[in-house]
Amino acid sequence: MMPKVLLAVLVLTGLGGGVYMIAGTQAMDEQELAALAARVNAEQADRATQQAIPETQPRSVEPTVFAQALEEEHRVVLDVRTVDEYNEGHVPGARIIDFSGENFLSELDALDRATPYAVYCRSGNRSGQVLEIMRSLGFRDVVDLSGGKNAWLAADGAWCTGTTC
């Protein structure tokens, strides 16, 4: 009976990638060993699946990646510049949340954490700070335009001015 217990420890250590200990004097028969190995295999498969699907994390991206993100159906674009800056021109469909406004944090906190966002400002400084704030508030799918409006326009990104949008 003892070799069955030793075999179980070896199988579990090899399949699960962790250290398992079987305490006591109870021996496992073949059926119990098979059930235990199947459970460990299922847990290992779950872990592998979770590792294969990368979690989306808030991140700064170049204009080409930002443009791709804007094409996603449910992504909300946030312009964190001032109202005056926004009125001079903005990314199509952008919603303004003024980083320097007195209600900025409450407006940001009211947003749905499950919604994907694209954030930008003039140079990437304010939006980079907003990215970190959103990360700390639990937002998971946020892209920040590295270089901001300046990089966007240099890359010929779409821009609304006056009545043209």
pLDDT at 42: 64
SS3 12: helix
Q: Would you call 165 a catalytic residue per the annotation?
A: no
pLDDT at 51: 42
Neighbours of 118 (CB within 10 A): 24
**What's the pLDDT tens digit per position in 26-51?**
565 677 767 666 665 666 655 544 44
Measured CA to CA in angstroms, residue 131 lies from 61, 66, 94, 161, 165 at distances of: 11, 14, 16, 25, 26
pLDDT at 162: 78
Residue 79 β-bridge partners? 96, 120
Highest-pLDDT range among 29-43, 119-133, 151-165:
119-133
Please report where in the chains the tokens 């900025």 appear, as a residue: 104
Structure token digits, residue 43: 């847990």
Among 11-20, 24-33, 62-71, 154-163, which is the least confidently predicted range?
A: 11-20
* Catalytic residue chosen out of the listed positions 91, 121, 130, 134: 121
